[in-house]
Structure 1
Amino acid sequence: MLYAKTSPADKRAAFRASLASGELLRFPGAFNPLSARLIEQKGFEGVYISGAVLSADLGLPDIGLTTLTEVAGRGKQIARMTELPAIIDADTGFGEPMNVARTVQELEDAGLTGMHIEDQVNPKRCGHLDGKQVVDEETALKRIRAAVDARRDDNFLVMARTDIRAVEGLDASIDRAKKLVDAGADAIFPEAMASLEEFEAMRAAVDVPLLANMTEFGKSELFTVQQLADVGMNLVIWPVSTLRISMGATAGALDELISYGTLTGKLDEMQHRSELYDLVDYEGYNHFDSGVFNFTVQERPGQR
């Protein structure tokens, strides 16, 4: 009932242990707290919170318009609703190194398990669009050093995302990844890899966990979980997939209403009321209400 029973510290410790196992961990993107709970119910290992999704949820493009307050607040709402670890997209850290330090502590306080910071110029662009610009090496490294120095829980994951592959090529991406690891990054998110061979080359170059981004309609092929595991990836995200599917289904339902004036033909595609009630634990709330309110107060002798 209400929120997760597992504390953020325990989630982080358990996640670190899972990450050390070498198994590929699957983190579908959650576009709201309810979808995070569904991800848990279906048996995935974690939840990813995408900056692109947070922007889209506000009706904004993914170009660095969201604020730390908005991101931390939505991250908290999602993370507290599931027993799973939640990793969040912190864009470029919301400012200079001191801002990055504050970002880490705000996200720790929000109950997140980890975050990633990218090396794009601010305002950033979606990682799979053309025209990206990356910061110089020293600026990228300062962001990571600031994040690592600022965290209070050593198990809070500081992941470095590098977008330099699409700007300067694979060799530059590998070189930057190595230096980000030397700066203290716990894991690397090499954005917009073009092939399994590129993921494999990155795996050979660094000895920290690696994340693969399987976003649709982007620059990377949509590899399977097994293919990614075979080349040594440790984490895989599908950042926008659940939002895209939900919005596609919603558009279809609205078209159905325009065409037929009823959604009778869409009932089989809907989450049933009973499934929703199970997901939000109606029974648990009902049991709590019964225990609190369904009682009688014994009157003392002489009282009326």
Structure 2
Amino acid sequence: MTLRKQFRAIVDQRKATTVPGAANAMFARVIEDLGFQAVYATGAGIANMHLGAPDIGLTTLTELESAVAGMADAVSIPIIVDADTGFGNALNMSRTVRRLERAGAAAIQIEDQVFPKKCGHFSGKEVVPTEEMVQKIKAAADARHDQDLQIIARTDSRAIEGLDRALDRARAFIEAGADMTFVEAPTDVGELARIGSELPVPQVANIVFGGRTPDPGREKLAEMGFSIVLYANAVLQAALKASYDVLGALKADGSLASVAGRLASFEERQRAVAKYEWDALEERYRVSK
């Protein structure tokens, strides 16, 4: 079974499968190592970690493609790719889908924000007309070579036009050819329940620590009918907190003695990047003297 077929099978179960986000290949490896069934290439995380910038539409397609290709080389689980607005109009969307498909995406998430976009949990968002997004979805669906590549259409209109309008948009996106939809930033459990029950295709929920959407837990989200639950930047937030704590202690104490227990060992670090596999390849291709 290909990774794209594998992802479709996960989605069809509608069991609220937990999918953590990664901004780089090493974090993707950790996610796979812990037994998660898929990984989310997070646009916000890539902007934060690769650019040191907020999620306000600064990342380019080339930068995203490079990050996804690195993850695809490193892991053997499906990758959901956050492709923001597709980096332009319907023509740009076609190119974006082709390149991300070649890079190794199992699913591509696109959204209806005005470019440059903002994080879905920021204020001040704007969305394009429904008709414009419909054409971009059609372009995305037409551009893929593998029909198992899932097109996830996200709407950010809940924060602007209300939930009813967001659901209407999602229905239009489904009619245009979206395989899944993603109503971003619902504000309570009742709204989550409506999304899960009123839209006919598989749904994505996005749980952001400190964000707008509550976290009722995987079991309740499965009962609501969600297929995928993203924790897009839990890894990033954990790494950032640990970095401040460890480096703060190093700055204050001049050593790592007080925080040694918070550091991965040298051996753990090498295992995380599969050094043993590279050692085996080196031995296999060693030139005899």
- TM class by shorter chain equals over 0.9
Q: How does 1:46-125 map to 2 (within 5 A)?
A: 46-57=38-49, 58-125=51-118
Normalising by structure 2, we get a TM-score of 0.96
Q: CA deviation at 1:131?
A: 1.2
1:178 aligns with 2:158: no
The correspondence for 1:199, drawn from 187, 192, 205, is: 192
For the 8 Å contact 2:17–2:218, the answer to whether it is kept is no
Secondary structure in 1 matching 2:31 = helix
1:134 aligns with 2:132: no
The correspondence for 1:164, drawn from 157, 160, 163, is: 157
Residue aligning to 1:40: 32
For the 8 Å contact 1:196–1:231, the answer to whether it is kept is no
Post-superposition Cα deviations, 1:129-160, rounded to whole Å, max 9, x if no partner, equal 11111111101111111100111110111100
For the 8 Å contact 2:68–2:81, the answer to whether it is kept is yes
Please give the alpha-carbon distance, in whole angstroms, between the structure 2 residues aligned to 1:235 and 1:165. 19
Q: Which amino acid aligns with 1:214?
A: I
Please give the alpha-carbon distance, in whole angstroms, between the structure 2 residues aligned to 1:275 and 1:13. 32
The correspondence for 2:254, drawn from 253, 261, 265, is: 261
For the 8 Å contact 2:167–2:195, the answer to whether it is kept is yes
Secondary structure in 2 matching 1:293 = coil
Please give the alpha-carbon distance, in whole angstroms, between the structure 1 residues aligned to 2:281 and 2:110. 41
Q: CA deviation at 1:252?
A: 0.8
Please give the alpha-carbon distance, in whole angstroms, between the structure 2 residues aligned to 1:66 and 1:283. 34
The correspondence for 1:230, drawn from 208, 215, 223, is: 223
Residue aligning to 1:12: 4
Q: CA deviation at 1:187?
A: 0.3
Please give the alpha-carbon distance, in whole angstroms, between the structure 1 residues aligned to 2:73 and 2:107. 14
Q: How does 1:252-291 map to 2 (within 5 A)?
A: 252-291=245-284
Q: Show structure 2 runs of 5+ residues with no match.
A: none
Q: Which amino acid aligns with 1:283?
A: Y
Please give the alpha-carbon distance, in whole angstroms, between the structure 1 residues aligned to 2:237 and 2:61. 24
Q: Which amino acid aligns with 1:37?
A: R
Please give the alpha-carbon distance, in whole angstroms, between the structure 1 residues aligned to 2:10 and 2:273. 27
Query: Over alpha carbons, which structure has the higher Rg?
Result: 1
Post-superposition Cα deviations, 1:134-190, rounded to whole Å, max 9, x if no partner, equal 111101111111100111110111100000100011100111111110000000111
Percent same amino acid among aligned pairs?
Answer: 38
For the 8 Å contact 1:196–1:228, the answer to whether it is kept is no
Q: CA deviation at 1:285?
A: 2.1
Please give the alpha-carbon distance, in whole angstroms, between the structure 2 residues aligned to 1:46 and 1:280. 18
Secondary structure in 2 matching 1:234 = strand
The correspondence for 1:149, drawn from 137, 142, 145, is: 142
Q: CA deviation at 1:287?
A: 2.2
Q: CA deviation at 1:120?
A: 0.7
Normalising by structure 1, we get a TM-score of 0.91
RMSD between superposed Cα atoms in Å: 1.3
